[in-house]
A and B are shown apart, each in its own frame.
Chain A
Amino acid sequence: MRERICPVCGIGTLEKVPRTIMITDPSGIEKTIEVFEYKCPSCDAEGDLFGDNERTLQKKYVEIRADAVASMLEEFSGNSISYSAAERVLGLPQRTLSKWKNKSVIPSAGATALMRYLHLFPWLLDVADNKFEKKGAMRIHIAAAMRDLCDMTKASDVKSVSAGIVENPNNAFFFVSMGKSSTLPVQAQRTATTPVEFMVNPGACEYTYET
């Protein structure tokens, strides 16, 4: 085989060295791939210096992407999100998600990115179902954020949580109120425990979300 001179230093004769590359996906799936790379004994330059492994690596990444989408779609089923409804709101041809799940069709990079977002934020389907209308989307987003915030802040002895934004002409407060007694309704508990400086006049804008 023809010897190759190191393109980095122009002196050393390159040696082919085997290498195992671990490739990972944000979903946590990992795969290893065996490739050959070059190493220069003169300058220590090392790597896929001529892009010979480009296709092999890309192919492996496509495989890992298909696995990741299939695994996310498994979770969709577990969370009782119907494929046909998701396809309807996203404007995808029916059966698309099933084809991705059984890997008869490999999702594109764009489709994979969409699936990653839906996996993280399933409420985006509600946004799509509202035809991506901006105000509605913001309400859905805020409600989801509050729900997540409530879940994050819930201590074991908390009976109820409310969170919201209270706004008067001068200030706006974002609050999370955790009720430790179940005797009072959430709204009454919050009123009883809200510091006086946070109290607002009747008619002030208030948006709350309760669990």
Chain B
Amino acid sequence: MSKQPYYDVDAFLTACKIWTRPRVVVLKEAQDDARNDFGLKTSGEILRFIANDGLEQLEFINSKPWEKNPDPSRSMIVDGYEFVSLMKRGYVAFMFNKMTGYWTIKSFHISDKANLSFVDAFKKAGLINGGDHA
């Protein structure tokens, strides 16, 4: 598991802004989670959300080899990031296939670290213990 992002995140964000020939695909599980967790109903809505700087406070989490890679001779790496959108903390994971030129959004859901934006805000305000104000 790498501590550095494998991809340039700006390249991914830029790819989400290209409407004429989209080169970003959203996997079913990511689409279903985005619909349930963030109300983003279609892959187009997810891409437009990302393109409009919807992934706020992006924070790199990890890079991992893609588990379902059918060709182990060509490594495929998935970068995972957390982001904030209003009171929700989300997790997005994506990868790029050099052969096809497509980005793939593999995950798009509420972060497993739970929904801590609210708690974070209280911690920053010094209203509860923990974090910076502990």
A35-66: CB near B (< 8 Å → 1, else 0) gives: 00100001111111111011001100100000
**Chain B residue nearest to A11 in the complex (CB):** B70
Contact code string A3-17 (vs B, CB < 8 Å = 1, else 0): 001111111100000
CB proximity to A under 8 Å, residues B29-81 = 29-31, 41-44, 68-71, 76
B27 touches A23 (CB 8 A): no
B66 to chain A, nearest CB (A): 8
Whether B133 sits at the interface, judged by CB under 8 Å, is no
**For the complex, is B16 an interface residue (Cβ under 8 Å from A)?**
no
Give the distance to chain B from A147, nearest Cβ to Cβ, in Å. 26
Whether B115 sits at the interface, judged by CB under 8 Å, is no
Q: A9-B71, A11-B70 are in contact. Are A45 and B104 (CB under 8 A)?
A: yes
- Chain B residues lying within 8 Å of A54, measured Cβ to Cβ, are 42-44
Residue of A with least CB distance to B27? A47
Cross-chain contact B42 with A43 (CB below 8 angstroms): no
- B16 CB to nearest A CB, Å: 12
Among B28, B41, B70, B97, the residue within 8 A (CB) of A46 is B28
Give chain B residues whose Cβ lies under 8 Å from the Cβ of A57.
41-42
Of the A-B pairs whose beta carbons lie under 8 Å apart in the complex, a sample of 21, sorted by A's number, is A8-B25, A8-B104, A9-B68, A9-B69, A9-B76, A10-B97, A10-B100, A45-B68, A45-B104, A46-B28, A47-B25, A47-B28, A47-B29, A47-B31, A48-B26, A48-B42, A50-B22, A50-B25, A51-B42, A53-B42, A54-B42
Q: Which residue from A7, A44, A53, A61 sits with its C-beta under 8 Å from B100?
A: A7
- Residues in chain A within 8 A of chain B (CB atoms): 5-12, 23, 37, 42-51, 53-54, 57-58, 61
Pairs A-B, 4 closest by C-beta atoms: A47-B28, A7-B102, A10-B99, A42-B70
CB contacts (< 8 Å) of A11 on chain B: these are 70-71
Residues of A within 8 A of B97 (CB): 7-10
Are A51 and B43 touching (Cβ within 8 A)?
yes
Residues of B within 8 A of A (CB): 22, 25-31, 41-44, 68-71, 76, 97, 99-100, 102, 104
Residue in chain A with minimal CB distance to B99 = A10
Residues of A contacting B68 in the complex (Cβ-Cβ under 8 angstroms): 9, 43-45
Inter-chain pairs besides A9-B76, A48-B42, 17 sampled, C-beta below 8 Å: A6-B100, A7-B100, A7-B104, A8-B25, A9-B69, A9-B97, A10-B99, A12-B70, A37-B28, A43-B70, A45-B25, A45-B68, A45-B104, A50-B25, A51-B43, A54-B44, A58-B42
Can you name the residue of chain B whose Cβ is closest to the Cβ of A26?
Answer: B39
Shortest A15–chain B CB gap in Å is: 13
Least CB separation from B43: chain A residue:
A51
Query: How many Å lie between the Cα of A11 and that of B99 in the bound state?
Result: 9
Which chain A positions have C-beta within 8 A of B25? 7-8, 45, 47, 49-50
Contacts of B43 in A (CB 8 A): 47-48, 51, 54
Distance A23 CA – B42 CA, assembled complex (angstroms): 11
The residues of B that contact A49 with a CB separation of less than 8 Å are: 25-26
B residues near A53, Cβ cutoff 8 Å: 42
Cα–Cα, bound, A12→B26 (Å): 17
In the complex, what residues of B have CB within 8 A of residue A50's CB?
Answer: 22, 25
